[in-house]
Amino acid sequence: MVAQRLEGGDRRRLVFAYYVTGHGFGHATRVVEVVRHLIAAGHVVHVVTAAPEFVFTTEIQSPNLHIRDVLLDCGAVQADALTVDRLASLAQYHETAVVPRTSILTTEVEWLSSIKADLVVSDVVPVACRAAADAGIGSVCVTNFSWDFIYAEYVMDAGNNHRSIIWQIAEDYSHCELLLRLPGYCPMPAFRDVIDVPLVVRRLHKSRAEVRKELGLGDDVKLVVFNFGGQPAGWTLKQNWLPVGWLCLVCGASEKQVLPPNFIRLAKDAYTPDLIAASDCMLGKIGYGTFSEALAYKLPFVFVRRDYFNEEPFLRNMLEYYQGGVEMIRRDLLTGRWKSYLERALTLTPCYDGGINGGEVAARILQNTALGKSYLSEKLSGARRLGDAIVLGYQLQRAPGKDISIPDWYTRAENELGLRAAPQHTEVNGHVSVLESCIEEFEILHGELHGLSDTITFLHILSGLGSMSESVKNTEKRQLREQVAAAALFNWEEDIFVARAPGRLDVMGGIADYSGSLVLQMPIREACHVAVQRNHPTKQKMWKHTQARHQEKGGPIPVLQIVSFGSELSNRGPTFDMDLSDFLDGDQPIAYEDACRYFAQDPSQRWAAYVAGTVLVLMTELGFHFTDSICILVSSSVPEGKGVSSSAAVEVATMSAIAAAHGLDITSRDIALLCQKVENHIVGAPCGVMDQITSACGEANKLLAMVCQPAEVKEMVSIPNHIRFWGLDSGIRHSVGGKDYGSVRVGAFMGLKMIKCKASSLLSKLLACADSAQQMDEMNSSKYEENGNELLKEEASLEYLCNLSTHRYQALYSKDLPDYMVGEQFLKEYDDHNDKVTIIDPKRSYGVRAATKHPIYENFRVQAFKALLTATTADEQLSALGELMYQCHYSYGECGLGSDGTDRLVELVQEVQQRKSSHDERSSLFGAKITGGGSGGTVCIIGRNCLRSSEEIFEIQQRYRSATGYLPYIFDGSSPGAGKFGYLKIRRRRAPELE
């Protein structure tokens, strides 16, 4: 018991200041249990919180409990129970904790002194730790996650905005003496000294029988607790959503919400631990409160993923490891397909066997710390902790085969969770044994491996899925969650079609593609593999919830089932399924806009638009009718969010495999154009076509030269033997769907429209005044050549900005373009910008001049770059190529598409290059530029193909890590596009029959 004092008879009454975050009730409920034990030991506790007072006073009635209603952080802002608004979260934290920071610290230091606090406890308020340090008081955090870890992913998407928030939070936590770490914890490198404590769970007040008696329910009634943290007040619940004989206890329902008779509204102050213990399962989102109480009281938990909250994957994996979780698809939650999930939950046997007395244990440690016991160690300095905690080290995306890009602390966290499978060590020149095992397992009926080690590895993975035994499934469920879903995907006696498509490195051209520029793109070594199988609906192996859905519809119908590897450490659901009839409106395909809304309903499964969208495009554009079910397995080593077209690789590989499985003869170029429709219209990203063309049509160790009008592949340009290209990832997440990219595209199309109008005006004046020499002089006729009217006619009907020469732009049009223009003003003057994939926001101001200038000059730079590649092999050639790349990089910046990380990498390349020159040494690196859509992502570097260049690339990688804490991923090497790869048709070999 905590009430039993430390040895030595110290009976001193202690004063604790306990700060509680403003995010959700789960934090307050676990604080209650720790506070209860502290007060039972005779101490005084001041709770600083924005949570309702009844959360504490219902459980603790004592004059030693003081509640102070103050909000010092806001947590994550949620649009609804399952959707976190990342940018709003950062903005609100800035307003809540950053803007008033000075006054907060002054107020808290004075208050802590006034109550004579002996110890500050934080769950998990950052500024509380700093205030304690300023007041000369020790502090301890009790938590399973920290806000620097959660917010880090938000900052990735926010670009440069609010990055200082992460630094500030990490610095605040670094003042904390000790972390009491709860089960299901996330990586928290800002804390040096850690003590693991058991689950903190509220105690039971009543037995299951007592609660059911009060509710008037017998043991034959099945009871489910509906708990989404008080958020679902507006959701419509229907009687037929529950199986017969079930009742649902609804937490957080408003008084105005009308509930069916089999749904029971709980009072806002209902004591949920008792209700949980009296129920048969719980349906809700995973937060610490619901997670811990479900584990502690062995209640099956049917959960729905919450997007963009990085605490969840760690809790989810622990829940499933102890056989306590069933995942429900959000679409089924909102449409009432609950039955199969609830019934499956009843078959679980939750088996958590850890301690549940974390409140008592934590209280004892807090008491000891306040009395002077030291738990400090000499593990790491505060500077090192901060170095590990900075934003660029918190990437969740994994790149199979290149773990070097993952911070050490994160790798350790994965290993602790058992999430990282053993790496596949397959060498290109030493894969005979693996190849033989693949050939033994599968008969290759069509295609060839092309000596690609990643394809051999993928076949090896397929082989392992096909032979996965039940014992492995049961004993290693946590390690093999995605593999278990994939193993149940295919009919291993039927043909499987495999396609492969690489990502791409944007050497030159980038965002000028949508303006018709020449671009030079290199397919990279990293690629996506997709395996597809078609089956008659009666033979299709279906997941349980899919079976239940089809039973309701009266029988088997064609279904699409997808498994995506590499999703478990993001909040991306690893599986997706839908009835193919969902893509039909009568006998016609649904509109792309409807499909875009369909996939946007569930952010955790939004990724499926890239895969399933290929099916709808084939239906719409080619009129193909899918009568069979389709199974798709996606495994990509192209890192996401790094500007190397991971999405294009997925789209092209998927469409290529589906086409092969259905006998569709589609050219590589047409596949690329179709995949662009997927991204533009179904995903909703306004990209050009160069990504898909490179992934589909590229060749290894060559630059694909394409004029994007719309997609004319000119030639494959061989990379001279003395030249080499690398990519270095900045660690800043890039998204083509990001607002910066879209606004620059809008600005370019605005500029195009203005130029055409200006050309029309000049042409009209030229024709009207052709006979007046005096008026011609007024128009500065020296600007016009004899065929000036023909040029103006062409420019008045200009389809692509890149068809305008640089000198014509500079002479006639540049001075008339505004730097910025508000959308409303443009629409009033010009009606429309004539871009089919972007929409002008009337209230937004768009950069016009820089966005228009960039593609015109970029097209010239790319043409010069291409010509220089075939020039003599001299330093002057490399210097000129590098200079063109530098010019491109800074032009991106003028458009507003730069980033701190990519700028830093380019500066490091320049420093290495200039250092060599100043010492009269031959430079090995000559230039660098941001790639793709900009605003982060990867930098392309050009250098001499020699060992010294590789050493300098490694030096830049290490210097960037020292400066930012993030170790850049190095893209090095090339591989063939999907067209050159073709496809594999494989079938599992039958085991020899015994005589």
Spatial separation of the C-alpha atoms in residues 864 and 866, rounded to whole Å: 5
Do 889 and 906 form a contact (C-beta atoms < 8 A)?
yes
For 623-698, where are the alpha helices, taking DSSP H only?
646-661, 668-677, 690-697
Per DSSP, 200 falls in state B
Closest CA to 182 of 301, 277, 292, 75: 292
User: What number of other Cβ atoms are within 10 A of residue 920's Cβ?
Assistant: 6
- Please give the distance of CA 133 from its chain centroid, rounded to a whole number: 36
- Cβ–Cβ under 8 Å, residues 479 and 418: yes
Which of the 8 DSSP states describes residue 360? Answer: H
Q: Environment class of residue 642 by beta-carbon count within 10 Å: exposed (0-12), middle (13-18) or buried (19+)?
A: buried
For residue 901, the Cα-to-chain-centroid distance in whole angstroms is 18
Sequence-distant contacts of 428-433: CB under 8 A, at least 24 apart: 428/453, 431/456
What is the SS3 assignment for 248?
A: strand
The helix (H) or strand (E) run that includes residue 140 is strand 139-143
Dihedral sign for Cα atoms in the order 563, 564, 566, 571:
negative
The tokens describing 195, both together, are 């003590």
> Do 657 and 498 contact (CB within 8 A), yes or no?
yes
Q: 449: how many CB neighbours lie within 10 A of its CB? A: 17
Q: Report the amino acid identity of residue 551.
A: Q
Q: How far apart are CA 707 and CA 29, in angstroms?
A: 61
Task: Identify each DSSP E strand in 167-245 by its residue range.
Answer: 178-181, 194-196, 222-227
By C-alpha distance, which of 151, 187, 183 is closest to 167? Answer: 151
* Length reported for the chain: 995
C-alpha span between 347 and 9 (Å, rounded)? 51
SS3 assignment, position 276: helix
Q: Which of 73, 506, 691, 740 is catalytic?
A: 691
SS3 971: strand
CA distance 944 to 928: 13
End-to-end alpha-carbon separation of the chain, Å? 70
The angle formed by the CA atoms of residues 25, 30 and 31, to the nearest 5 degrees, is 95
Contacts of 78 (CB under 8 A, 6+ apart): 84, 85, 231
CB contact at 8 A, 285 and 81:
yes
Residue 418 CA to residue 415 CA, distance in Å, equals 5
Residue among 556, 498, 508, 558 at smallest CA distance from 528:
498
193 is catalytic: no
Report the amino acid identity of residue 167. Answer: W
468 CB-near residues (< 8 Å, 6+ apart): 480, 483, 484, 487
Alpha helices in 225-375 (DSSP H): 272-277, 288-296, 312-321, 330-335, 339-345, 358-370
CA 831 to the chain's CA centroid: 36
C-alpha span between 899 and 934 (Å, rounded): 8
Q: What is the DSSP string of 726-770?
A: EEEE-SS---TTSHHHHHHHHHHHHHHHHHHHHHHHHHHHHHHTT
Q: What residues have CB less than 8 Å from 459, skipping those under 6 apart?
A: 438, 441, 442, 449, 498, 986
Query: Which residues carry out catalysis?
Result: 691
